[in-house]
Structure formats: C-alpha cells, structure tokens
Structure 1
Amino acid sequence: MGERGPWLTIVGIGEDGPDGLSAASRAALDRAELVFGATRHLSLLPDLMAETRTWPVPFEVGIADLLAERGRRVVMLASGDPFWFGAGATLSRHLSPDEWVTYPAPSTFALAAARLGWRVEETVCLGLHAAPVTRMRPHLAAGARIVGLVRDGAGARALIDYVAEQGFGASSVTVLEALGGPRERVRTTRADAAPLADIAHPLAVAIEVAGSGETLPLAAGRPDTWFDHDGQITKRPARALTLSALAPRAGELLWDIGAGSGSIAIEWLLAHPSTRAVAFERDPTRADRARANAATLGVDRLVVTEGAAPLILADQPAPAAVFVGGGLSLALLDWLDAHLPAGTRVVANAVTLESEALLGQWHARRGGSLLRIELAEAAPIGTRRGWRSAYPLVQWSVTW
C-alpha cells in the first residue's frame, strides 16, 4: 500500500448525508484532495473542503478521469453499500487491491427490509435501474417478496404495471422514497390500483406477490408453452434429460449450437444467476425468437450469435458445456474435437437416422453415454385413447 495507503476511498452515503457517515468515512473526506460524486451525493455534503467533481452519465465515462488522479487522495461517493448493485465492483475491476478501500453505509435493501419487517435473506433483491422489468419473471410466485431498485417514478410504474399484467394484480406494493433521510416517504397500494403520483428518486419498490398469475417452475423441463417456437424446440421431457446431462454449475458458460427457440440455453441460465450462455443460430427469425424468449423469461443476459457452425464458433470464449441441438454434422464434431478444452461436457441430440449413425460412430470413438429416448403421450383415437409416439431421440453425452 505504501506509506500513504490506498489513494482511492469509496464512501457509501445515505440520504441522511453527513449524519450517517462512519468515523472512517468522515476521516477519509477530511483528508481528501478531490471528491467525485453524483450531483445528488455532493449536495448531501455541502461543506466539503476538497475539490469536487460531478460524476458524468453514463457511469463508465468517468472512470478514465478517476484513474488519471492516481497519486492524489481521492474519495468517490456512492449510494449506500457500493458493492450491492453499486459502483464499487465496477471501479475495483480497474484497480489493484492495494489502491482502494471502501466504507459502506446501509444499503437500500437493508433499509427497505427494516421498514417492512422482512428478512433480507428471504427477499429477492434486484437492481432494475437499467435492466428490464422482465427480470422479475422467474421470481413471481404467490408469497414471494421482492425489492427492486428503480431509476425514477416511470420505472416504478412500469414495474408495478408488469406485476399486474402477469396476473398478480392483488400483490401488495410499497413504494419507498429517499429512505433514511428527511425526505423519506413510504406508501403502500395494490399492483392493480390507481397509480401513485409524485414518486421521487431515489426509490425502491417492494412487492409481496399475490394473485393467480402463472408461476415459472423451478425444475428443468419447463412446459413448452413458456417458449414461443415454430416447432424447432427440444420438447419438455427431452429438455429435462438434456439439462440433466449438461449439468449446469454456477458460473459456467454454455454453447447452445443450433439454438432454435433458445429453450436449452434459457433453462441453463435459469439454473443459477451466475450461469452464462451463447446461443448460435443461423436463421435470423429463430435468433430473434430466442432473444425474445430469453427476455420474456427474465434471462436477457443470453447472447444470441447469428451464423452457421462451426465457422461461427471461432474466437468464442471457451465453454464448460456444449449442446448440439441443430446442425449436427461430421464437420462440426471434428471442429469441436480439435478445439474444445479437456473437461468440456458435450451433449448432442439426434432424430434422423443419419445423425443417429454419426453419434454411434463418435460414441465408439470417444466413449461417453448413448441414450435412446422414446416418448409417447395418450391421445384420442375416436371415442377411445391410445399412445401417440414421438420420433425417437438419440442423445450422446461425453466429457472431452
């Protein structure tokens, strides 16, 4: 750290301004030569002795100016806890560990839970300042408690309207403004009630979900009705078996090759908030459909790349798992064999006799598991019922 210690201090500040600062935060501000902050944050500390600079919008624009001040004692002001949907993690990626220190204040989530009497560990906490409200979709279930941070009154209204549109209009909605400061205001209504007026930033919206809306299941193999598709979809039972073979783990990246509706990649992303996926699809219409499905189901982090495999796979980040659902060919398997790192899990599904034969050859060559899946559903035959069989599916799963 050197004799002077870290040159940057990230100070969390609440709406109570100087009254809520810790002794360490006050000392850092007293020693500072330069203080960066949003206009609102700087206005909460009107008596600063140091030079002040307003942080620009968008946030990333100001990082270069901050880094140019190495060698001075600099304070960066951030809302509440800088490392919970705040600026802290964004800044620390550009710095070595000995260059910075942070002194957090209570987060908006903690303040909201304290006002409502909710357990934070049992509450879904979402940062929706610049994210779509559809990120709430996986969490909308009767009895769930959600706190979302939003940019302004329009964002709060959009969030509340979305909850009602999904069939949860009976939900209790609490709008919490300027928590912890003299302007604090807390109001509760129903999602389907007349909109509240004059909603002021900064704010959070707390939702206690109630109503008869459809709830997204937690288990892999969600019903096909959750996905818009043109028939190019891995059907629910086969999808459940495929996800089981792919075995998603926290933080892992999936390649979904020949993604179609994107159902496999989407369910991979639903498995854990840290999972990542790239869907490769040569048909632009299907690619757009996969993007729309991902957004609708709250996993807009899906990356959809248009183009034909294997050419489109070059220079992509190495995956932990690969699913081949469409476009299976000898050229593709040869490319994967030559380029995938050891330990990559690969699952390929085949319906045609030609693709099935290809998987049989590669199973003999590389081992793994070869599974034949035959499914039939009860269907009417006149006044009676019988079994209607789907095309058999052959699934090869192997670790490279």
Structure 2
Amino acid sequence: MITVVGIGPGDTAYLIPQAQHYITEAEVLVGGRRHLEIFSGVTHETRVVDADLAGLLAWLQNNSTRRIVVLASGDPLLYGIGKLLSEYFTAEDLRIIPGISSIQYLCAKAALDMNDIYLTSSHGRTPDFGWLLQHDKVGMVTDGRVGPRAIAQAIIERGLNRTLIIGENLSLPNERIHRLRPEAVATDYDMNVVVILNER
C-alpha cells in the first residue's frame, strides 16, 4: 500500500504522530528534495519527485507492495500530490495521512477563523481575480509567477478595500508574517501563502 503523508508547513514539530509512524516504518521515501532532506537518514532508499509525474505513477504502481511513503507539503489533499495520486489509485490502494496546511497554520498565527474561507492556488494557473475577490476571505497557495505582489496589483486595479496577510517560510526559524494594505506589498517574498481579507 502507498501511504501519502502530509508533513505540515515545514517544521517537523507540526508533524502528527500517525505521520511520523509511517515515515519511520517506510522502506522507501518519495518526495521533493527539500522533503527528503528533512527526513534524511530515516531510510536508505529514496526517490525524488520531479517533472516526470507519469514515470512516478508507473514506478509507484510497479512497487505498490512495498512500504512506500510519499511526502507532501502541508496537507496532501489541499493543492498537493494527494489529488494526483487519489485520481490514479483506488482508495483501497492508498492511505492518506492529513497534515497541517500552510493556510491553516497562517490563519492560526493570525488568530483568524477559517469559517467561510475560499481556498485556492495559483500553481500552474492564472487566477480569476474578478471572481476570487468577490469573496470576503480567500486563502491562496502561491507560486513564483502569481504571488503577493500580483495579488495586490489585482486588488489595486479593481479599486477594492482589502488586507493581505502574507506568511513566509511558515514554521521555520526565518518565518515572517505581514499584514498589509495592497499598496504596501513588496515585490519579492520567500516561499509563501496569502490570505486576502475584506475587512468592511
């Protein structure tokens, strides 16, 4: 059986015990280079997730009787690799262990409830800001192309009154959290997620 483990926002202190159990028992750890570095020494065999997702799926299928753990940032089913794997494998062949998502972590740090929040991602897509900004509360997993500055620019262009909460390097020693008006948003931020608030 293939186990997909959400490793949380970054610091292993936020890893749930069930996730730690499956990682410790793994024959093979699969994940991005950053994920594998976090758990180096747990097992001798690793596989790096790269752009060849078809190759990864075929390899997982051919090795499904082994104790394989796929490491996923945050929660595997919130804009993570869990979606791809759940579309390819049946629920009987896949065990998914949830993790604390980066948006969930940021909301906790900002003491912001997640009720009625609209969750989305800009990874590999161009957000429809006209539609998104109709929501009072939006949590967005960002990428290098559409990050805080692009979001702020979309708000300014529409003349909207919004606040951005930007979380960089969440749960890590260099974590930074900013609460800004769109006009004050800088050009560059480290690895981040954003919450957009309509504070009427």
Counterpart-to-counterpart distance in 1, 2:12 and 2:166: 25
| 1:209 partnered with 2:194 | no
Give 1:182 deviation, angstroms.
2.4
Corresponding residue pairs, total: 200
1:161 matched residue in structure 2: 153
Shift of 1:196: 1.6
Distance (Å, rounded) in 2 between the aligned partners of 1:112 and 1:58: 31
Counterpart CA distance in 1 for 2:182 and 2:116 is 21
Corresponding letter in the other structure for 2:150: A
1:174 and 1:33 map into 2 onto residues whose CA distance is 40
Query: How does the TM-score come out when normalised to structure 1?
Result: 0.46
Q: Which runs of 4+ in 1 moved over 6 A?
A: none
Residue pairs, 1:134-283, within 5 angstroms: 134=128, 136-141=129-134, 144-152=136-144, 155-168=147-160, 170-193=161-184, 195-201=185-191, 203-209=192-198
Say which of 48, 51, 60 aligns to 2:42: 48
| Counterpart code for 1:178 | N
Q: Give 3-state SS (helix, strand or coil) of 2:140's partner.
A: strand
1:8 to 2, 8, 11: 2
SS at match of 1:129: coil
CA contact (8 A) 1:177 1:185 kept: yes
Matched residue, 1:35: 29
Deviations 1:263-291 (A, max 9, x none): xxxxxxxxxxxxxxxxxxxxxxxxxxxxx
Residue 152 of structure 1 and its aligned partner are, at CA, apart by: 2.8
Corresponding residue SS for 1:114: helix
Q: List alignment gaps of at least 5 residues for structure 2.
A: none
Task: State whether residues 33 and 48 of structure 2, in contact with CA within 8 Å, keep that contact through their aligned partners in structure 1.
Answer: yes
Is this contact kept in 2: 1:129–1:149, CA < 8 A? yes
Tell me which structure has the larger Cα radius of gyration.
Answer: 1
CA deviations over 1:298-352 (Å, ceiling 9, x no partner): xxxxxxxxxxxxxxxxxxxxxxxxxxxxxxxxxxxxxxxxxxxxxxxxxxxxxxx
SS at match of 1:148: strand
For 2:61 and 2:156, locate their aligned partners in 1 and report how far apart those are by CA, in whole Å.
45
1:83 aligns to 2:83 (yes or no): no
Q: Judging changes above 3 Å, is the alpha-carbon distance between structure 1 residues 110 and 36 closer, same or farther for their aligned structure 2 residues?
A: same
Gaps of 5+ in 1: 1-6, 212-400
Query: What are the superposed Cα offsets for residues 237-275 of structure 1, whole Å, 9 maximum, x if unpaired?
Result: xxxxxxxxxxxxxxxxxxxxxxxxxxxxxxxxxxxxxxx
Partners of 1:146 and 1:15 in 2: CA distance: 18
Give the conservation status (yes or no) of the 8 Å contact 1:152–1:199.
Answer: no
**1:111 counterpart residue number:** 105
Deviation at 1:199, TM superposition (A): 0.7
Percent of aligned positions with the same letter in both sequences? 25
AA aligned opposite 2:110: L
How far is the alpha carbon of 1:99 from its aligned partner? 1.5
Tell whether 2:57 aligns with 1:63: yes
Contact 1:14–1:181 (8 Å) recurs in 2: no
How do residues 380-399 of structure 1 correspond to structure 2 at under 5 angstroms?
none
Greater relative CO (CA pairs within 8 A, separation 6+): 2
Partner Cα distance (1:25, 1:205) in 2: 26
Superposed CA RMSD in Å reads 2.3
Q: How many Å separate the matches in 2 of 1:29 and 1:147?
A: 29
Residue aligning to 1:337: none
